[in-house]
Amino acid sequence: MAIAVAFSDSPEGRNALVYAAREALQRHEQLLVLQIVDDAASPAESEAVRAATQSALDEGQVVGSSWEIRTAEHSGDRVGALIDLIADCGAGLFVAGSRRMTPVGKFLLERSLQRVLLEVDVPVLVVKEPQ
């Protein structure tokens, strides 16, 4: 089984990517970097995602990780497209990044993260941004 993580070029997204890559190495599994795009991804956009992914892995000092990018288009529902992509890629674990939250924020999770937690059929590991 593979470990999936959604691509996000943000501090919490890079943290989740590094954590997922380390988990994949430890389990001897492949890392799937999931990308949701508005339209068919252009070669330049795909290359930018590859470069950002490799840069985050290098910064996180993750060496030897086997990974590939899986892309899906959305038609107005980015979270729905992500949920479908997680199901289609055959991952055994999905890693999601999250910001540190206040007590009220913890009670009212981000809607997209809450939806992923409720609708994805595989275990979801939520990684908080380091302090």
- Tens of pLDDT, residue by residue over 9-64, are 888 899 999 999 999 999 999 999 999 888 766 777 788 889 999 999 999 999 88
- CA 89/CA 24 separation, integer angstroms: 15
Q: Is the pLDDT of residue 103 over 60?
A: no
pLDDT of residue 105: 55
Q: In 1-131, which ranges are E strands?
A: 2-6, 31-37, 67-73, 91-98, 124-128
Q: Is the pLDDT of residue 130 over 60?
A: yes
What percentage of the chain reaches a pLDDT higher than 70? 89
Mean pLDDT to the nearest integer, 77-104: 86
Torsion of CA 13, 48, 3, 8, to 10 degrees: 20
Q: Is the pLDDT of residue 114 over 70?
A: yes
Candidates 3.30.950.10, 3.40.50.620, 3.40.710.10, 3.30.1360.120; correct CATH number of 2-128? 3.40.50.620
Average pLDDT, the chain: 86
